[in-house]
Amino acid sequence: MSNSIKTLAIDGLWKNNPAIIQLLGLCPLLAVSNSLINALGLGLATLFVLVCSNSLIAITGRWVPDYLRLPIFVLFIASLVTIVQMLLAAYRFNLYESLGIFLALITTNCVILGRAEAYAAKNPLRFAIADGLLQGTGFLLVLVILGGLRELIGQGSLLHNAQDLFGPIAHNWGIYFNSDQSGFLLALLPPGAFILLGCLIALRNYLDLRKKSPAQLRSSS
Partner 1 sequence: MKNIMLFVFIAIAVTAILAAVYLFSEPRKLAQIESKQQNIVQGMLAGQDVARTEYFELLAPQYLHLGDTQQAQRVYDKHNNISAVILTALTDRAYAGRIGLLVAINTNCSIASVEVLQSQETPGLGDQYKQSDGAWLKNFSGKDLDNSDWRMTKQGGDFDAWTGATVTPKAIVESLERVLQLCEAHHNALFSELEIVYLEQ
* Interaction site with partner 1 (CB under 8 A): 34, 63-65, 68, 71-72, 75-76, 79, 82-83, 86-87, 89-91, 93-94, 154-155, 180, 182, 185, 188-189
- Closest approach of partner 1 to the CB of residue 96, in Å: 8
In degrees rounded to 5, what are phi and psi of residue 62?
Answer: -75, -20
Burial of 14 (0-12, 13-18, 19+ CB in 10 A): middle
Decide whether 4 or 182 has the Cβ nearer to partner 1.
Answer: 182
Q: Tell me how far, at minimum, the Cβ of 12 lies from partner 1, in Å.
A: 27
What distance in Å separates the CA atoms of residue 48 and residue 42, rounded to the nearest whole number?
10
Beta carbon nearer to partner 1, 130 or 159? 159
Task: Note the Cα 120 to chain centre separation in Å.
Answer: 18
What does the buried/exposed string (b/e) look like for 200-213 if buried means 16 or more CB atoms within 10 Å of the residue's CB? ebeebeeeeeeeee
Q: To the nearest whole angstrom, how small is the minimum distance from the Cβ of residue 169 to partner 1?
A: 18
Distances (CA, A) of 43 to 53, 89, 134, 153, 181: 15, 16, 12, 20, 24
Q: Of 182 and 216, which CB lies nearer to partner 1 in the complex structure?
A: 182
Q: How far is CA 133 from CA 19, 37, 51, 60, in A?
A: 14, 20, 6, 19
Q: What minimum distance in Å lies between the beta carbon of 85 and partner 1? A: 9
Least separation in angstroms between residue 146's CB and partner 1 is 16
The nearer residue to partner 1, 131 or 151, going by C-beta atoms, is 151
Judged by beta carbon, residue 185 or residue 202, the one nearer partner 1 is: 185
